[in-house]
């Protein structure tokens, strides 16, 4: 019996880990692989080669999906924060306030750093480009228009999903390259998905990976 239980536990862990790598959503509607849609909207990809980039995050007007993926009502971020923090405070005094504070802290630094780390990892060797939040020859505005936080409930989980526009601007503020991304999935490995911020951070890491990939392809 102990051997059977161990075998089942290993199988469950392996399934969860596999989902984390490919951006898979589960639940009542079944399993569906989430594939990112990346498009060069305008500009010259070659303009990014050899350039240092200053990253600026923009969440203005962002829409958030409430609760589970594919079932969530799409509401404003402000309403999402209000509802979520009130629900958590009802369960435990101060829990919702702590959650709201962490939500803002993650937006302020964690997601940008996740993007930058991956951008530098791939960009330096492929395009001789690097990024930071302090200075750069070009400015990259990452405007997130839609976010699904995803969820983790034991053996079932769904990735965070992001839609965004990446606009690279020169010193005068004129766009030199615009990319659009939809359905960028983010999941941490294994049981790391318990943390909402970890899922979303992985989404921004994936965004950086996709950005370098399409820039390298179009710059040739």
Closest CA to 146 of 70, 59, 80: 59
Distances (CA, A) of 115 to 111, 165, 198: 6, 14, 12
Q: What is the pLDDT of residues 77-96, one digit of tens each?
A: 999 999 999 999 999 999 99
For residue 24, the model assigns a pLDDT of: 47
Cα distance between residue 74 and residue 89, in whole Å? 22
Interatomic CA distance for residues 36 and 55, integer angstroms: 21
pLDDT at residue number 67: 54
Distances (CA, A) of 39 to 48, 60, 169, 207, 210: 16, 22, 17, 12, 10
Low-confidence winner among 39-48, 64-73, 89-98, 128-137 (lowest mean pLDDT): 64-73
Q: What are phi and psi of 50, to 5 degrees?
A: 75, 10
Per the CB < 8 A criterion, the answer to whether 134 and 109 are in contact is no
Q: How many domains does the chain have?
A: 1
Q: Residue 166 in contact with residue 142, Cβ under 8 Å?
A: yes
Which letter does DSSP use for residue 68 in this model?
S
Q: Identify the domain containing residue 55 by its residue range.
A: 2-219
Taking residues 101-107, what's their average pLDDT? 96
Residue 4 has pLDDT above 70, yes or no: no
Of residues 158 and 152, which shows the higher confidence score?
A: 158
Asked if the model's pLDDT at residue 128 lies above 90, the reply is yes
């Amino acid at each position: 019996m102990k051997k059977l239980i161990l075998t089942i536990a290993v199988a469950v862990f392996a399934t969860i880990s596999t989902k984390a790598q490919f951006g898979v959503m589960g639940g009542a509607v079944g399993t569906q692989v989430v594939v990112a849609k990346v498009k060069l909207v305008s500009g010259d990809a070659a303009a990014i080669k050899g350039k240092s980039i200053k990253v600026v995050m923009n969440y203005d007007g962002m829409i958030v999906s409430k609760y589970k993926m594919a079932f969530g009502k799409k509401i404003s971020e402000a309403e999402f924060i209000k509802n979520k923090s009130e629900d958590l405070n009802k369960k435990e005094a101060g829990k919702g306030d702590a959650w709201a504070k962490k939500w803002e802290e993650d937006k302020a630094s964690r997601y940008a750093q996740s993007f930058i780390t991956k951008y530098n990892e791939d960009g330096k060797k492929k395009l001789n480009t690097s990024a930071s939040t302090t200075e750069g020859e070009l400015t990259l505005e990452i405007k997130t228009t839609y976010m699904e936080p995803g969820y983790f409930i034991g053996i079932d989980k769904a990735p965070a999903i992001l839609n965004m526009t990446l606009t690279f601007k020169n010193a005068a503020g004129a766009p030199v390259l615009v990319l659009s991304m939809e359905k960028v999935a983010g999941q941490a490995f294994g049981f790391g998905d318990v943390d909402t911020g970890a899922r979303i951070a992985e989404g921004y890491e994936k965004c950086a990976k996709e950005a370098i990939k399409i820039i390298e392809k179009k710059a040739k």
